[in-house]
C-alpha cells in the first residue's frame, strides 16, 4: 500500500508542475526573487557537475530556517574548515539570506520540486555526500531519491508539533516511510522526539534548539540601546507581525490611549506613553503595513529612511531585513507576531538573547518547548488575545523594576540553553565520516 500511495503522490507532483510555474510567476510580481533561476526548481542546473563533488547538502526552506542553518554552518566550519556546502531554499527571502552564508566552492540553488524526475536530476547533478534537512523539511520523493543515490539524510534541529503529527498521520502511507528512511534525527525537545518516533523516525539525540546558539550582532545591539536611551521613554515592539495582527494591535493601542503623539520631526519626545515599533514578518508587506498605519490616522517613520537617528512619529516601521537584534535592543517589551492567530508563533529566542521580554498569544506551537521554558524562566508572558497583550505590555512598561527583572531573566534564559550546535556537530561526525 505504501508503494501505491507514493506512486499516486508522484503522479500528482508531476501533474501540478504547471500550477507551480504559475504560482511562482504570480509571487514573482510581488517578490522578484521568485523569478530567478526557475528551472532549478525542476532539476535543471547551470553549474558544472564535475566541479561539485564532496558537497554537503544543507536545506533551509525559508528565512527563519536559513538563519538557523547559519548557526549550524558556523559550527561545522569551525570543526571542518574545508567544508563545501550545497545550500537550497524554497522561498525568496530564504535564498536572499543564504547568500551571506556562502564561501568559495559553495553552491546555492532552489530546492527541487518533489517529483521523481526533478529529485533524480538534483542528486545526479550534485552528488552530495550527506544531506542535512533543517527542522521539518521531509519530502517523500526527496527521501526516496536520496536513498537511490546512497545519500544519507539527517533531520537536524527537528521539531514536530501535535498539529503537524496529526496531519502527517492522515497520510501515514507517505510520511512514515519517509521519516523512517532518515539516517538520523536530532530533535529540539523530548516531546518533539516522542512525536517524531510515532512516525518511525530514528531519533538519535535531543539537543535543544540551535537558535539558542545565535550571537546577536554586537553593533546592532549597541545602536539599538543607544537609540532607546536617547528616547527617554519605553519602546513597545510588535515583532515579526503577520497579516491582521498590525491592525488589531493599533486598534488596541489607540483604545487604551497609549499613543504618544509626535511633536517634532527631528528629535525624540519624552513621554510616559511608549514609542510604538512594528516589524512585519514578510518584507513584501512593508508598504502595505505603512499604508495601514496611515489609515489609522497615525504618522509613520520607516527604518529605511532613517539617517543616523530614528525620526519622531506615532509609529516606527522596521522595514529592513536582518536587523532583529537592533529592534529587540531598542525595545523594552515585544509582542510576539504569529501567536495571536493559529499560525504557531515566531522565534522568541532571538528576543531573549537581546534581553527583551516577550508577551505572546495562545498560538506558539512552532516553538512550543521554547515558549514553555521562557514562561517558566520569567522571560515571557502568555495572554489570551491582542487586547490582553497590550494591557499586559502597558502594565509591564509602567513597572520599571518588573521590566528590568524580566529583561534579566530573558538574558539568563537564553544563556542557559545554549549548546545544541556543538552537540549536533559532534553527532554528525559519524555521518560525515571524518
Q: Is 137 in the active site? A: no
> In which element (H, E) is residue 116 found?
helix 116-126
Q: Which of 321, 351, 320 is nearest to 335 (CA)?
A: 351
CA 212 to CA 203: how far, in whole Å?
21
Q: Residue 349, exposed/middle/buried by CB under 10 A (0-12, 13-18, 19+)?
A: buried
The 8-class DSSP code of residue 101 comes to G
Would you say 240 and 321 are in contact if contact means Cβ atoms under 8 Å apart?
no
Number of Cβ within 10 Å of residue 138's Cβ equals 23
SS3 262: coil
**The residue to which cell 510515532 is assigned:** 198
Burial 367-380 (b: 16+ CB within 10 A, else e): bbbbbebbbebbbb
Q: Which of 247, 150, 160, 236 is nearest to 201 (CA)?
A: 160
DSSP secondary structure string for all residues of 292-303: HHHHTT--EEEG
> In which element (H, E) is residue 130 found?
strand 130-134
- Name the pairing type of β-strands 300-302 and 315-317: parallel
Query: Pseudo-torsion of CA 163, 168, 170, 171, nearest 10°?
Result: 160
**The residue to which cell 511608549 is assigned:** 274
Residue 119: CB partners within 8 Å, gap ≥ 6?
43, 112, 141, 142, 144, 145
Q: Which of 65, 97, 252, 369 is catalytic?
A: 65
**The residue to which cell 498569544 is assigned:** 361
DSSP secondary structure string for all residues of 371-382: HHHHHHHTSEEE
**The residue to which cell 519530502 is assigned:** 139
| Strand ranges, E, within 144-246 | 153-158, 184-187, 203-206, 235-241
Would you say 61 and 90 are in contact if contact means Cβ atoms under 8 Å apart?
yes
Question: What cell does 77 get?
Answer: 566550519
Active site (catalytic) residues: 65
Amino acid at each position: 500500500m505504501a508503494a501505491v500511495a507514493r506512486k499516486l503522490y508522484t503522479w500528482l507532483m508531476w501533474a501540478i508542475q504547471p500550477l507551480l510555474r504559475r504560482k511562482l510567476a504570480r509571487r514573482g510580481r510581488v517578490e522578484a526573487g521568485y523569478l530567478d533561476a526557475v528551472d532549478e526548481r525542476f532539476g535543471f542546473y547551470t553549474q558544472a557537475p564535475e566541479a561539485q563533488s564532496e558537497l554537503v547538502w544543507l536545506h533551509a526552506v525559508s528565512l527563519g530556517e536559513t538563519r538557523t542553518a547559519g548557526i549550524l554552518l558556523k559550527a561545522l566550519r569551525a570543526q571542518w574548515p574545508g567544508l563545501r556546502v550545497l545550500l537550497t531554499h524554497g522561498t525568496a527571502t530564504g535564498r536572499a539570506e543564504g547568500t551571506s552564508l556562502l564561501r568559495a566552492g559553495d553552491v546555492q540553488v532552489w530546492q527541487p520540486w518533489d517529483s521523481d524526475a526533478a529529485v533524480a536530476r538534483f542528486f545526479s547533478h550534485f552528488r552530495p555526500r550527506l544531506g542535512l534537512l533543517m527542522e521539518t523539511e521531509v519530502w517523500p520523493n526527496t527521501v526516496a531519491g536520496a536513498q537511490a543515490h546512497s545519500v544519507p539524510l539527517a533531520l537536524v534541529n527537528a521539531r514536530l508539533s501535535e498539529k503537524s503529527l496529526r496531519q502527517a498521520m492522515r497520510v501515514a502511507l507517505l510520511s512514515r516511510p519517509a521519516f523512517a528512511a532518515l539516517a538520523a534525527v536530532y530533535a529540539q525537545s523530548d516531546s518533539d522526539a516522542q512525536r517524531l518516533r510515532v512516525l518511525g523516525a530514528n531519533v538519535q539525540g535531543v539537543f535543544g534548539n540551535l537558535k539558542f546558539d545565535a550571537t546577536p550582532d554586537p553593533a546592532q545591539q549597541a545602536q539599538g540601546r543607544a537609540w532607546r536611551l536617547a528616547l527617554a521613554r519605553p519602546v513597545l515592539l510588535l515583532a515579526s507581525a503577520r497579516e491582521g495582527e498590525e491592525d488589531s494591535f493599533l486598534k488596541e493601542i489607540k483604545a487604551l490611549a497609549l499613543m504618544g503623539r509626535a511633536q517634532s520631526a527631528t528629535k525624540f519626545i519624552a513621554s510616559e506613553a511608549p514609542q510604538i515599533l512594528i516589524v512585519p514578518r514578510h518584507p513584501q508587506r512593508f508598504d502595505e503595513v505603512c499604508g495601514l498605519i496611515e489609515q489609522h490616522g497615525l504618522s509613520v517613520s520607516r527604518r529605511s529612511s532613517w539617517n543616523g537617528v530614528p525620526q519622531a512619529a506615532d509609529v516606527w516601521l522596521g522595514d529592513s531585513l536582518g536587523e532583529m537584534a537592533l529592534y529587540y535592543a531598542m525595545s523594552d517589551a515585544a509582542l510576539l507576531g504569529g501567536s495571536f492567530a493559529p499560525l504557531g508563533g515566531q522565534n522568541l529566542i532571538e528576543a531573549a538573547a537581546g534581553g527583551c521580554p516577550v508577551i505572546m498569544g495562545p498560538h506558539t506551537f512552532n516553538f512550543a518547548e521554547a515558549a514553555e521554558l521562557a514562561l517558566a524562566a520569567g522571560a515571557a508572558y502568555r495572554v489570551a488575545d491582542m487586547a490582553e497583550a497590550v494591557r499586559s505590555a502597558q502594565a509591564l512598561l509602567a513597572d520599571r523594576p518588573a521590566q528590568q527583572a524580566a529583561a534579566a531573566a530573558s538574558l539568563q534564559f537564553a544563556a542557559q540553553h545554549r549548546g545544541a550546535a556543538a552537540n549536533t556537530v559532534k553527532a554528525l561526525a559519524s555521518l560525515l565520516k571524518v
